[in-house]
A and B are shown apart, each in its own frame.
Chain A
Amino acid sequence: MTIQINARFKRSREFEISVDLDLEGNKIMALFGKSGSGKSSILRFVAGFEKFPDNFLKVKETILQDKTCFVQPEHRNIGYVFQSLNLFTHLSAEENLKFASKRSKAKPFVSESEVVKILDLKSLLKKFPSSLSGGEQQRLAIARSLLSNPNLILLDEPLSWLDTESKLRILEYLKEINQKFQVPMIFVSHSADEVLLFSDRIYEIEDGKNKPSLTPRQFRLRYFKETNATERITIDCQVCEHDPVNGLTRLNFEEESLYIEQDDLLENQTIKATIKIQDIIITRFQTEKSSVLNQFSATIHSINDPGIGAFAIIEFTKKTQFLSARVPRKSLQVLSLKEKETVFIQINNLTVQNKR
């Protein structure tokens, strides 16, 4: 586990933070939620500014806080781009960068000139923060945190001041930093677009508590309902055997048999089958007398009822894989579906891109 956070503390008298978050590999974790939901308090905890007993924090191999230890914030080597940016107004842009690099004890993974070039700061170096625009200040704040050579970067709404074009460019650059230098990041945003574009693992935070984590794909299904109708999902299957009598090929999907009519697939190879989400049909009971060949049981992971319109999205788990179905909202009531229940799903049509 690269990052493990178990935090329970009162931010104020009425507001309690209670989260258990983790991140595998040096990836990007997003904390998504409305303002005031406690996202920034979690970042403050990670940075070491919320000192409460009985919490746990591990970053890479280092335990930064547990029952017996608390690493002071100045020794944590965590980069933190605050929402308010907090540039030092008595220093020029260049001196702001130097403030970070001079105090960094770690081996630099980026040079100042590289950061300056990529974040397009060259013409600003001699200026003071008060004469920079919002976007320029934001780029400077990001650059400064990179130059402290952190083990982990915390980004609190880092793109709020930028126009769409610079937003995309900087997200791309941050992603490159993440991959090239294996620096994990925790990214706080209330913008579903940014979260989807940038993150590998997404936690929705509500009232100081986290919901189960989502992959970007699950996140897209949940928050981008307008694309429902044409949404497709892919599942991994193994090719079993061809049945020339019926003109079908049998696939193995998590120990269930699926049949397709394609006959040019190599046996034993793993393939991706694509299903339109409206082609998945849900039944309470297994229908033995049905023309639909592809039937199996699956567990309801979540029901995403938008509360308006005709359709809802249901996500299922089948062992380690995920499926999604677009069903009429009326059916939710007729079948009285609930999360964690096991139901049967029928797949009307699936297609395979043969990779030869």
Chain B
Amino acid sequence: MTENDLASLFLTLKLASVTSLCLALIGTPLAWWLSQTTSFWKNIVQPLVALPIVLPPTVIGFYLLIAFSPQNFFGAAWLNSTGAPLAFSFSGLVAGSIIYSLPFYVQPVQVSFQSIQKEIIETATNLGAGKIDRFFQLIIPLSKKGFLIAFCLSFAHTIGEFGIVLMIGGNIPEETRVISIAIFDQVESLNYERAHFLSGSLLIFSFLILALLYRTDRVWNEKGSPK
């Protein structure tokens, strides 16, 4: 493995970790709101969250690129406050990945939240647990399966991301050249051996993540979870 490959691999893992972390912070409250609300806005927000599943990554990438442009409000505000443009930067990739992987995090967590019986939450309330207490002591532990799936899917999905990265990140070593871009690069330059190696690693890695996910799910089921 060359130094360049290692750098790409490290960058990819960093991107996936940062993205998953940000998703946990943004996606968990969003999933909770979606699972509980009866407001009209759910009709708008729910499809918006799911949009990245059906939209071609290039479309998302294109609009993000426009939004990141310093000629636009968002891009300009970012440039003013950080001193660096979002496009073709690691931060830009994180922002893009969060949007791209949002449904893969929000949906499993939301489904888990929705499957908790209202009366279970009321029972905790009745025993004297307040809102925050209930959320951390009851709702999160009861949704651990949803969180596991959400983490694995959003992590793996970010690792496999290509279209958006190409649009908003380009191909800058140690900044935006993630593993999928590196593979594309090697194939372009007919360097099949390196492409094989990188693709094979990604394949095995993705397989291991999924295997771990299903295994954990099985163990939790056997240990006795909700009837």
Contact = CB atoms under 8 A, between A and B. Distances in A.
Interface residues of B, number: 23
Contacts of A84: 117, 119
A130 B225 contact: yes
Nearest to A76: B126
B128 A104 contact: yes
B56 interface: no
A3 interface: no
Interface in B90-125: 117, 119-120, 122-125
B135 to A, nearest CB: 13
Interface centre among B117, B128, B142 (most CB of A within 10 A): B128
Contacts of B141: 90
A354 interface: no
Given A74-B129, A77-B128, A84-B117, A89 B225 contact: yes
B224 interface: yes
A80 B122 CA distance: 10
Contacts of A82: 119, 122-123
A73 B142 contact: no
Given A130-B224, A130-B227, A131-B224, A99 B124 contact: yes
Interface size class of A (residues with CB under 8 A): 20 to 34
Contacts of A73: 122, 125-126
* Interface residues of B, dominant DSSP: helix
A38 interface: no
Contacts of A126: none
Nearest to A77: B128
Interface string A61-96: 000000000000111111110101010111000000
B168 to A, nearest CB: 41
Contacts of A99: 124, 127, 129, 137
A88 B138 contact: yes
B83 interface: no
6 contacts: A74-B126, A82-B123, A84-B117, A86-B122, A128-B223, A148-B126
Interface of A: 47, 49, 73-80, 82, 84, 86, 88-90, 99-100, 103-105, 128-131, 144-145, 148
Closest 10 CB pairs of A and B: A103-B128, A86-B123, A130-B224, A90-B141, A80-B126, A89-B226, A128-B224, A100-B127, A73-B125, A74-B125
